[in-house]
């Protein structure tokens, strides 16, 4: 079931060069440059209408670009239909055939390709075992849970041995606990197979927890791409700072007043410390007075919003044990490490 990929001569599993896609007057994809490495788990993250799903459909061949160039493992694919591409797709709704058994669902793509019955049944069993559904070949999709149906869809996509697996929000229909379990399983499966996974999601937690790199989309463009830690810790624009997690977005003057550079900057709420009475700020941090105007209980933490005497509003996430019985109107001392103030390189001062 392992795909054989020659990485010695191919530097990109998927490559976009100035790709555009229009729907009437709307530019769904607007000049996208992109290079996904062989064997990479790559996430496309963004809100609805940002262009991420259209890019996935362009890779799959369900849409054709209006301009630009697309390659899959060095092969130009503009104009190629989906069945001529070395890719397969797992959809959010799974798209299983209800009248076919699980085994026949998984083997369907092999049947279309003319693989003999005995061979396709063998490969289907192997694929089902890979996704922990061994022995369920004779069941119907209606007899399975949502998580099991998701695994069947995954096995059906993998059984034809694609070089690139496309995943279009495949966990969106699952409940929170199952979604978290499947995140771990998907990442483990991708590592074991060494396949290139391209994962589309609007859930920043999914992207950060699974991907090797994340591309953040907004209005048809990629506004930042990099490892999850980089995208989260050093957002390039106010959009990225607000969409990937939550952040205090500060003007140049506000950042300077808090001890940072005079540049538009982001400050993650969890980087702000609440100081006990008489406690000094840590080295490299600046302490200041603030007045609480909102407190939100969030289980192990409390999110407080406070305003400094200079009028700078800040959200801080404080461990519940440290936040105590804070209430609206309380005076507090907060500390901000200078290193936590991250200039946003894509923003003009």
Q: How far apart are CA 330 and CA 292, in angstroms?
A: 5
Residue ranges of domains in the chain = 14-242, 254-343
Give the alpha-carbon dihedral of 282, 288, 289, 292, to 10 degrees: -80
SS3 readout for 230-252: HHHHCCCCHHHHHHCCCCEEECH
Q: What percentage of the chain's residues is helix, strand, coil (to nearest 5)?
A: 30, 30, 40
- Least Cα distance to 208 among 240, 172, 171, 245 occurs for 245
- 198 touches 44 (CB < 8 A): yes
Would you identify the CATH topology of the domain 254-343?
OB fold (Dihydrolipoamide Acetyltransferase, E2P) (2.40.50)
3-class secondary-structure state, position 96: coil
Cα–Cα distance between 179 and 183 in angstroms, integer?
6
Structure-block tokens of residue 287: 């302490």
d(CA 226, CA 212): 8
DSSP 20: E
Q: Do the Cβ atoms of 20 and 67 come closer than 8 Å?
A: yes
Q: Tens of pLDDT along 329-343?
A: 999 999 999 999 999
Listed in sequence order, the DSSP H helices in 100-251 are 102-112, 117-130, 146-158, 176-193, 204-210, 228-233, 238-243
Q: What is the pTM of this model?
A: 0.88
Q: Work out the angle at residue 85's Cα, subtended by the Cα atoms of residues 80 and 87, and round it to the nearest 5 degrees.
A: 140
Residue 245 has what pLDDT?
Answer: 87
List Cβ neighbours of 116 (8 Å cut-off, separation of 6 or more). none
> So what's the pLDDT on residue 177?
79
Q: How much is the pLDDT for 259?
A: 92
Per-residue confidence (pLDDT) for residue 93, from 0 to 100: 77
Helices (H), 194-339: 204-210, 228-233, 238-243, 252-257, 320-323
The per-residue pLDDT for 8 is 44
* pLDDT of 320: 82
Q: Is it true that domain 14-242 has CATH number 3.40.50.300?
A: yes
Query: What phi, psi does 204 have (nearest 5°)?
Result: -65, -30
Sheet holding 248-250, edge to edge: 248-250, 265-267, 342-343
Return the pLDDT at 9: 52
Token pair recorded at residue 343 = 């200039």
Q: Rounded to an integer, what distance in angstroms lies between the CA atom of residue 197 and that of residue 211?
A: 9
Classify each residue of 117-134 as buried b or exposed e, where b means 16 or more C-beta atoms within 10 Å of its C-beta.
eeebbebbbebbebbebe
What are the 10-residue block averages of pLDDT along the chain, 349 residues in total? 43 95 95 96 95 96 96 94 91 84 91 90 91 89 87 89 91 77 86 92 91 96 96 94 92 94 94 90 91 90 93 92 82 94 83
């Amino acid at each position: 079931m392992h795909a054989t990929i020659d990485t010695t001569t191919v530097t990109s599993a998927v490559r976009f060069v100035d790709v555009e896609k229009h729907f009437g007057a709307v530019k769904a994809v607007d000049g996208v440059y992109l290079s996904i490495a062989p064997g990479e788990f790559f996430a496309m993250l963004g809100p609805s209408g940002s262009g991420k799903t259209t890019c996935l459909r362009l890779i799959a061949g369900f849409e054709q670009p209006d301009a630009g160039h697309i390659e899959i493992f060095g092969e130009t694919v503009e104009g190629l239909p989906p069945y001529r591409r070395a890719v397969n797709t797992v959809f959010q709704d799974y798209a299983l055939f209800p009248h076919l058994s699980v085994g026949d669902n998984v083997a369907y793509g092999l049947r279309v390709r003319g693989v003999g019955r005995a061979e396709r049944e063998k490969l289907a069993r192997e694929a089902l075992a890979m996704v922990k559904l061994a022995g369920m070949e004779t069941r119907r999709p209606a007899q399975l849970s949502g998580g099991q149906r998701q695994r069947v869809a995954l096995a059906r996509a993998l059984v034809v041995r694609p070089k690139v697996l496309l995943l279009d929000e495949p966990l969106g229909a699952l409940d929170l606990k199952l979604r978290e379990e499947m995140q771990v399983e998907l990442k483990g499966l991708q590592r074991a197979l060494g396949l290139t996974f391209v994962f589309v999601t609007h859930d920043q937690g999914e992207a950060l927890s699974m991907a090797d790199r994340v591309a953040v989309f907004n209005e048809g463009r990629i506004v930042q791409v990099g490892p999850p830690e980089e995208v989260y810790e050093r957002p390039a624009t106010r959009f990225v700072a607000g969409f990937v997690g939550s952040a205090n977005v500060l003007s140049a003057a506000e950042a300077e007043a808090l001890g940072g550079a005079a540049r538009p900057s982001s400050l993650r709420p969890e980087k702000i410390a609440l100081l006990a009475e008489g406690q000094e700020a840590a080295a490299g941090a600046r302490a200041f007075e603030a007045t609480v105007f909102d407190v939100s209980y969030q289980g192990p933490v409390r999110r407080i919003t406070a305003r400094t005497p200079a009028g700078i509003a800040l959200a801080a996430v404080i461990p519940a044990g440290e936040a105590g019985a804070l209430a609206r109107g309380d005076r507090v001392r907060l500390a901000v490490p200078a290193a936590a103030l991250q200039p946003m390189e894509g923003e003009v001062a």
